[in-house]
Structure 1
Amino acid sequence: MTLREAQGPAEGEGVRLQKALANAGVASRRVAEQMIVEGRVRVNGRVVDELGSRIDPEKDLVDVDGTAVQFDQSKRYVMLNKPTGVVSSMKDDRGRPDLRRFTKDWDERLYNVGRLDAETSGLLVLTNDGELAHVLAHPSFGVTKVYIAKVDGKVTPQTIQRLLRGVELEDGPIAADKARLLSTSTGSVTGAEGAGSLVELTLHSGRNRIVRRMMAEVGHPVVELVRRQFGPLHLGTLPAGRARELTKVEQGALLTLARRDTGNEETPDE
């Protein structure tokens, strides 16, 4: 398929596809040429396999092996391991610790994608890509998040099944996409007598404090909560209070997710 058939710029206009890919850091120009010839590159959803093809990097959507490519080098995508006690805002009108302290290494004005409540730690995405932030923040888009909850009490397999079947909350029913018990301990996680448990929950809902409310509903209030994954991104070994730019692979995976149809929108929150 030629780029003309893929509705790209007219012949002689735009940038050669292999050069654009190299400039974006996907691969060297020679390797990019090989990718094109092998039919691994799509422009606006259609395979382009001719080396003379040109694109408009500002308008055309390109992916390699199904992973989106970002040509705009001014865009920044940052992963933060938000510590507890920090609100998910770039400026808090009540004077509480906010996210500004974690963005000093970047000249660009970054914004958070969605929120984590102040007492929840873990993975938060910061970006100056407003379109991506708008899309990924909406739970109806189906971005899954994985949480590890330290809770009071001994969670049973029956409780896990209840979380999977769904519980009724004041704002409607909710079910975990996945749920599993990681461990139990004989001592209470709050230091009192009794038992404590670690539970992993996977959700795509963005309803306010949803994990805490679900666990409270099944009789196991949350003591500590951390978000370990957001869509294709994993927190890994990033220490609490540290931020880093996404790798090219992570950035591509996030952009691929963001280019899907958004569907309906809801107001997001943890």
Structure 2
Amino acid sequence: MAETNEGIRLQKVLANAGVASRRVSEQLIVEGRVRVNGAVVTELGSRIDPENDLVDVDGTAVQLDTTKRYVMLNKPTGVVSTMKDERGRDDLRRFTKDWEERLYNVGRLDADTSGLLVLTNDGELAHVLAHPRFGVTKVYIAKVDGRVSAQTVATLTRGIELEDGPIAADKARILDSSGDSSLVELTLHSGRNRIVRRMMAAVGHPVVELVRRQFGPLHLGTLPVGRTRELTKVERGALLTLSRQETDAPPADGVETPASEEQETS
């Protein structure tokens, strides 16, 4: 609720958002570390509208809308990335029942892929994270058949031709290559259907297991398979910062059309 028709004092907004105490928030403002709608604000009497104004501290966005929920899930294999599967397969509903808000998945992982999936009720942020035109990076670890060579890694980053056009990994490296299998880490910003599996198959190393370890600024860390947790204040700030930056930026080069996002993306 606004203090006056002109809005709420900026230091109070920062304190309510959990950035710092009101006294420390005042210091941040005076030091020129706070921006409102992209402009530095140093006046302690400044008032803002938390519902419409965008605030960041030291370049990191501050979440002012407390009705928005952001949850990380380590999706198990065998679960489809939808809130209700028409074919009766195991879906995401059991992972969202502990929250009052109606949460939805951001993008998809196919049923055979485990790893980091974001659940939220923030439609604007979900659009930026999932839409192919913004090219948010994802990091996967793939266990593949055969011993992957340095030459193969070079091929993946240089680019290969698939049936739906050329594709190149942003980064690729071998984590382990011994025996009859290898562990490969791939960084991609593509949203194409089952892209990691198709890339590895194209270079002669079919995927045996696949997990997404990173999505944009978020890292799966030690979150057990099948468990959820709310994002931390730092993680929420990183996501919101990314969302605002990507919204203002031109589309990423070589990113697919929006239609491809309707497919399962790994």
TM-score, length-normalised on structure 2? Answer: 0.93
User: Does the Cα contact within 8 Å between 1:77 and 1:251 map onto a contact in 2?
Assistant: yes
> Any runs of at least 4 consecutive aligned residues in structure 1 with deviations exceeding 4 A, and if so which?
none
What is aligned with 1:6?
A: none
What is aligned with 1:5?
A: none
- One-letter amino acid of the counterpart of residue 149, structure 2: T
What is aligned with 1:122?
A: 115
SS at match of 2:239: helix
1:96-153 residue CA offsets vs partner (Å, 9 max, x unmatched): 0000110111010000010000000000000000111111101221210000000000
What is aligned with 1:175?
A: 168
Q: C-alpha separation between the residues in 2 aligned to 1:261 and 1:180? A: 27
Q: C-alpha separation between the residues in 2 aligned to 1:261 and 1:219? A: 35
- One-letter amino acid of the counterpart of residue 131, structure 1: E
User: Does the Cα contact within 8 Å between 1:140 and 1:205 map onto a contact in 2?
Assistant: no
Q: C-alpha separation between the residues in 1 aligned to 2:127 and 2:86? A: 22
Q: C-alpha separation between the residues in 2 aligned to 1:174 and 1:140? A: 15
Aligned residues: 253
1:233 equivalent to 2:218? Answer yes
1:234-263 residue CA offsets vs partner (Å, 9 max, x unmatched): 000000000000000000000100112444
- One-letter amino acid of the counterpart of residue 36, structure 1: I
- One-letter amino acid of the counterpart of residue 80, structure 1: L
Q: C-alpha separation between the residues in 2 aligned to 1:119 and 1:142? A: 23
- One-letter amino acid of the counterpart of residue 153, structure 2: I
Q: C-alpha separation between the residues in 2 aligned to 1:239 and 1:199? A: 21
Residue 12 of structure 1 deviates from its aligned partner by: 6.2
What is aligned with 1:246?
A: 231
- One-letter amino acid of the counterpart of residue 217, structure 1: A
1:69 equivalent to 2:54? Answer no
What is aligned with 1:196?
A: 181
* Structure 2 unaligned regions, length at least 5: 252-256
Give the structure with the higher percent helix. Answer: 2
- One-letter amino acid of the counterpart of residue 191, structure 2: G
What is aligned with 1:18?
A: 11
- One-letter amino acid of the counterpart of residue 159, structure 1: T
Pick from 20, 24, 27 the counterpart of residue 27 of structure 1: 20
1:205 equivalent to 2:198? Answer no
Q: C-alpha separation between the residues in 1 aligned to 2:85 and 2:244? A: 31
* Structure 1 unaligned regions, length at least 5: 1-8, 187-194
What is aligned with 1:98?
A: 91
SS at match of 2:201: helix
User: Does the Cα contact within 8 Å between 1:77 and 1:245 map onto a contact in 2?
Assistant: yes
SS at match of 2:185: strand
User: Does the Cα contact within 8 Å between 1:163 and 1:175 map onto a contact in 2?
Assistant: yes
Pick from 30, 36, 51 the counterpart of residue 37 of structure 1: 30
- One-letter amino acid of the counterpart of residue 86, structure 1: V
Q: C-alpha separation between the residues in 1 aligned to 2:62 and 2:6? A: 20
- One-letter amino acid of the counterpart of residue 211, structure 1: V
Residue 185 of structure 1 deviates from its aligned partner by: 2.1
